[in-house]
Chains A and B, each alone.
Chain A
Amino acid sequence: MSDKQEMIDGLKQIVKPYIQDDEAFKNLNEDTDFINDLKINSANLVDVILDIEDKYDIELDNESMDKMLNVKAALEVINAKVSEK
């Protein structure tokens, strides 16, 4: 199991409470879009980001948050922030 798959699984746990499309959630991969695929209410994206901050003990600035619309982008931002620590 690669680190990347582990990261995806971690993210999957975080978004789980907010998703409204079970099928897309089951098939969650790097290309999955939070709003278009998982049907997460856009207001809840804020909560996803706070949960990510808690899990990885990082703080995400406004610009990073704006980018985090799909799994791939989220992983990139998280990795960048974690490596800065």
Chain B
Amino acid sequence: MNNRVVITGLGIVSPNGVGLDAFTNAIKSGTSGIEFHEELKELNFSCCIGGIPNVTEELKRNYLTELQLKNFNSSGILYGCMAGIDAWKDAGLSITDKTDFDSGTIFGAGTSGVEKFREAIYKLDDKNVRRLGSTVVAQTMASGVSAYLGGILGLGNQVTSNSSACTTGTEAILMGYDRIIAGKAKRMVVGSTSDHGTYLWGGFDAMRVLTYKHNESPETGSRPMSASASGFVPGSGAGAMVLESLESALERNATIYAEILGGDVNSGGQRNEGTMTAPNSEAVQRCIKNAIRNSNIKSEDIDAINGHLTATSKDFTEIENWSKALGLKGNDFPHVNSLKSMVGHCLSAAGAIESVASVLQIHHGFIFPNINCEDLNEQITSLISAQKIPQTLIEKEINIVAKASFGFGDVNGCILFKKFKK
């Protein structure tokens, strides 16, 4: 069985744009979605800025029923359902009363319903477990997002949630790809989501990995590849794609955004310089090289890299790893950008949101600009040409984009997206 896998639907709930049109405009124009949050300040966070998608009460009701929204307090499930439903509809698929055994979902999350869990803990500690209500489990279980989405869409193939920290979204896409390649599903809704807010972001603030220098100027806070990068800015949201066997997509005459050529996931095993929180460079390079090899392309074929690039001191290490893995540097290095400059680090949602951006670049023919890196890191520009880090929109045909994500636990994922040609 040698299926080809294509992307036929996209959905996005991002701090700088909800819905494909708003998001496409935002990334082309370099619009930041980072804002100051009074709540973080009141709770004594060092970093008081973050990225939260703008979702009104009215908009929520286009996706979840009144009953689903009753006692509902899980932003991650909401974002995931919105992105997943949008991707499904964008693919031209309909929601019926029948179970669709050919379609499934792998929709990842880092945590689920943190705020709902907090509500439950307060009641429970108050000896009031009997008053928790019926939805604490569904909203706080790790697979909450895929369970809600599977029910809404009537999915009858595999319905599950993966979790691999900041690699989650990229991994979910590759897991869905594998399932279609194996002939076990025709369509997979893949993506990932992240809750927003204090209880999730607090742990990162405590680790001192968030920037505390931009509370007065939130939009300039997320500075990947900049000399003044001083830690990441937390974000949230969800991204989703409908992956489909080429055969099924052609049969339905569906819009094809791009093809997935291949990819790889691995881990550095927390050996050498790899730890719970830092990557083992050997593993990162191996992951990228394997992805290129099993995509049957050459490094030189890559038009653009969508990096992980969080805006910490590790940005240089990442560029160095790309450079070594590709065997390219200076002017030969592909264009590279980081969506995190606009939306912050959307944690478990990052890989999916950034992959949607990567695919939009191929579909519409552009490379979105990096913002907040006027002062490029000199270590980085000593390795690759500054022109390869665009700070204004580039409009041109894009054939192949490499997307990588790296996460806590020393885990890596890399995907190759390509413009579809028959």
Partner of B134, one of A17, A46, A53: A46
Is B66 in contact with A17, judged by CB distance below 8 angstroms? yes
Q: CB of A43 within 8 A of chain B?
A: yes
Identity of the chain A residue whose Cβ is nearest the Cβ of B66 in the assembled complex: A17
CB distance from A77 to the nearest CB of B (A): 16
Contact with B along A21-50 (1 / 0, CB 8 A): 000000000000000000000011011001
What per-residue 1/0 map shows which CB atoms of B53-87 lie under 8 Å from chain A?
Answer: 00000000000001100110000000000000000
Q: For residue A53, which residues in chain B have a CB less than 8 angstroms away from its CB?
A: 131
Q: How many A-B residue pairs have CB under 8 A?
A: 18
| Complex-state Cα separation, A47 to B70, whole angstroms | 10
A17 to B70, CA, bound (A): 8
In the complex, what residues of B have CB within 8 A of residue A18's CB? Answer: 67
Residues A47 and B133 in contact, CB atoms below 8 Å apart: yes
In the complex, which residue of chain A has the Cβ closest to the Cβ of B65?
A: A17
Inter-chain contacts of B135 with A (CB < 8 A) = 43, 47
| Complex contacts, A47 vs chain B, CB 8 Å | 70-71, 133-135
Q: Complex Cα distance A50/B70, Å?
A: 13
A61–chain B nearest beta-carbon distance, Å = 9
Contact assessment for B66 and A44 in the assembled complex, using a CB-CB cutoff below 8 Å: no
Q: Mark B105-142, 1 if CB is under 8 A from A, else 0.
A: 00000000000000000000000000101110000000
Q: Are B67 and A17 in contact (CB under 8 A)?
A: yes
Asked whether, in the complex, the Cβ of A50 is within 8 Å of the Cβ of B131, the reply is yes
Q: What are the residues of chain A within 8 A of B67 when measuring CB–CB? A: 17-18, 44
**Size band of the interface chain B makes with A:** under 10
How far is A47 from B66 in the complex, measured between Cα atoms in Å?
A: 14
Q: What's the least CB distance linking A4 to chain B, in Å?
A: 28
Chain A proximity of B72: nearest CB distance (Å): 12
A46 to B134, CA, bound (A): 6
Instruction: Kindly state the separation between the CA atoms of A80 and B134 in the bound complex, as whole angstroms.
Output: 25
- Expressed in whole angstroms, the Cα–Cα distance for A17 and B67 within the complex equals 6
Contacts of B70 in A (CB 8 A): 17, 47
A44 CA to B71 CA in the complex, in Å? Answer: 12
For B66, what are the chain A residues with a Cβ–Cβ distance below 8 Å?
17
Residues of A within 8 A of B131 (CB): 50, 53
Measured CA separation A25–B131 after assembly (Å): 26
Across-interface contacts of A17 in B (CB, < 8 A): 66-67, 70
A47 to B133, CA, bound (A): 5
Cα distance A43–B134 when bound, in Å? Answer: 6
B70 to A, closest residue via Cβ = A17
| Bound CA span A53–B131, Å | 10
Point out the residues of chain B lying under 8 angstroms from A46, CB to CB: 133-134
Give B148 Cβ to nearest chain A Cβ, in Å.
Answer: 14
Q: Find the A residue at minimum CB distance from B71.
A: A47
Q: How far is the CA of A30 from the CA of B227 in the complex (A)?
A: 73
In the bound assembly, the distance between CA atoms of A83 and B135 in angstroms comes to: 31
CB distance from A53 to the nearest CB of B (A): 8
CB-based nearest B residue for A48: B134
Expressed in whole angstroms, the minimum distance between the Cβ of A22 and any Cβ of chain B is 13
Closest to A40 in B: B67
Contacts of A50 in B (CB 8 A): 131, 133
Please, which residue of chain B has its CB at the minimum distance from the CB of A65?
A: B130
> Which B residues touch A43, using CB under 8 A?
134-135
Closest beta carbon of chain B to A11's beta carbon, Å? 17
Contacts A43-B134, A43-B135 supplied; 5 other A-B pairs, CB < 8 Å: A17-B66, A46-B133, A46-B134, A47-B70, A47-B133
Could you write out 12 A-B pairs with CB less than 8 Å apart? A17-B67, A17-B70, A18-B67, A43-B135, A44-B67, A46-B133, A46-B134, A47-B71, A47-B133, A47-B135, A50-B131, A50-B133
